[in-house]
């Protein structure tokens, strides 16, 4: 009887289902791009004649009193973009970093998470700013102007600038890691040069000030083009790669 049982053998357990990458990555990349563009357009719609200088606290406090909604909506759009970016960053890590040393993958993914965190912070500051600044300005005009300057420096110049720099670091890291493992086509690496300019141009401008060559400040339009053109283009190109890999194993 034992010989007969051993002859039958033991059936191996069924293999677990393969987890697929899915479409969460591409969808989140598109949502990040659309929400970021919406945030820019919403604030621009409120920056009409007389309120067009975002660095002028008097104009901006007056704008909050007249038409605060677009600014708050731009903040809401940025928070949505931040959450979408976080999903996008995690999807890239899960899909493209399978053959990358875990430490390097975690570091690059961490820079992307930092970008999402700062973007979320900047969005929340904008979402809350009009009501808070208007209330403070109602108590004392000078306090209101100071409150807006705090919003501008901590939000736009602080959190949003940090988010842009962290995204650029993440994009460069993705190109380096995924390029070495040949997980992305060459076109992604080429377009990755544009986010890299977000890091390079300010460093060149700083070098120009240190060396007394202010001519390097003329590269500022390139910096803006890298932000408003390079970042969306890189995100959408990478979304296309993830879409083609949606049925590949994840993790």
pLDDT digits (tens, 9 = 90+) for 132-191: 999 999 999 999 999 999 999 999 899 999 999 999 999 999 999 988 878 888 999 999
- Under the banding of pLDDT at 50, 70 and 90, the label for residue 84 is very high
- Under the banding of pLDDT at 50, 70 and 90, the label for residue 246 is confident
The radius of gyration of the chain from alpha carbons, rounded to an integer in Å, stands at: 24
The contacts of residue 228 (CB under 8 Å, 6+ apart) are: 40
Confirm whether 160 is domain-assigned.
Answer: yes
Q: Residue 249's pLDDT is what?
A: 61
pLDDT of 110 over the 70 cut? yes
Average pLDDT, the chain: 87
CB 198 within 8 A of CB 231: yes
Segment 112-139 mean pLDDT: 95
- Under the banding of pLDDT at 50, 70 and 90, the label for residue 106 is very high
pLDDT of 120 over the 90 cut? yes
Confirm whether 137 is domain-assigned.
Answer: yes
Q: Residue 10's pLDDT is what?
A: 60
Confirm whether 251 is domain-assigned.
Answer: no
pLDDT of 119 over the 70 cut? yes
Pairwise CA distance, residues 229 & 205, whole Å: 20
- Under the banding of pLDDT at 50, 70 and 90, the label for residue 72 is very high
Pairwise CA distance, residues 81 & 98, whole Å: 26
Q: Residue 223's pLDDT is what?
A: 85
Confirm whether 148 is domain-assigned.
Answer: yes
Segment 195-214 mean pLDDT: 81
pLDDT of 207 over the 80 cut? no
Q: Which residue has the higher pLDDT, 177 or 20?
A: 177
Number of domains comprising the chain: 1
- Helix then strand then coil, in percent of the chain rounded to 5, is 80, 0, 20
Segment 90-119 mean pLDDT: 94
Q: Which residues share a beta bridge with 249?
A: 20
Q: Residue 16's pLDDT is what?
A: 46
Residue 133, Cβ density class (10 Å: 0-12 exposed, 13-18 middle, ≥19 buried) = buried
Confirm whether 9 is domain-assigned.
Answer: no
The range of the structural domain enclosing residue 202 comes to 22-242
Share of the chain above pLDDT 70, in %: 88
CB 64 within 8 A of CB 130: yes
pTM here?
0.87
Pairwise CA distance, residues 199 & 5, whole Å: 68
Pairwise CA distance, residues 219 & 202, whole Å: 9
Q: Which residue has the higher pLDDT, 156 or 17?
A: 156
Residue 27, Cβ density class (10 Å: 0-12 exposed, 13-18 middle, ≥19 buried) = middle
Pairwise CA distance, residues 67 & 239, whole Å: 36
CB atoms within 10 A of CB 18: 10
Confirm whether 172 is domain-assigned.
Answer: yes
Q: Residue 240's pLDDT is what?
A: 92
Q: How many helices (H) and strands (E) does the chain have?
A: 11, 0
């Amino acid at each position: 009887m034992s010989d007969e049982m051993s002859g039958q053998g033991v059936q191996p357990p069924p293999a677990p289902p393969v987890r697929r990458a899915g479409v969460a990555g591409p969808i989140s990349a598109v949502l990040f791009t659309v929400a970021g563009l919406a945030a820019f357009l919403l604030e621009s719609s409120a920056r009409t004649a007389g309120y067009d200088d975002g660095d002028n606290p008097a104009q901006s406090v007056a704008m909050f009193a007249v038409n605060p909604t677009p600014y708050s909506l731009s903040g809401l759009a940025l928070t949505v973009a931040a959450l979408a970016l976080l999903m996008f960053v995690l999807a890239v890590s899960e899909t493209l970093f399978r053959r990358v040393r875990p430490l390097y993958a975690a570091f690059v993914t961490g820079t992307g998470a930092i970008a999402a965190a700062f973007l979320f912070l900047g969005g929340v500051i904008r979402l809350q700013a009009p009501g808070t600044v208007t209330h403070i300005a109602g108590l004392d005009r000078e306090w209101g102007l100071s409150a807006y300057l705090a919003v501008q420096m901590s939000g736009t110049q602080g959190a949003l600038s940090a988010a842009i720099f962290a995204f650029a670091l993440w994009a460069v890291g993705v190109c380096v890691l995924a390029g070495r493992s040949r997980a992305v086509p060459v076109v992604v690496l080429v377009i990755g040069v544009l986010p890299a300019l977000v890091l390079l141009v300010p460093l060149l401008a700083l070098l120009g000030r240190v060396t007394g060559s202010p001519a390097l400040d003329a590269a500022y339009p390139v910096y803006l083009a890298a932000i408003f053109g390079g970042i969306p283009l890189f995100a959408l190109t990478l979304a296309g790669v993830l879409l083609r890999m949606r049925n590949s194993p994840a993790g």
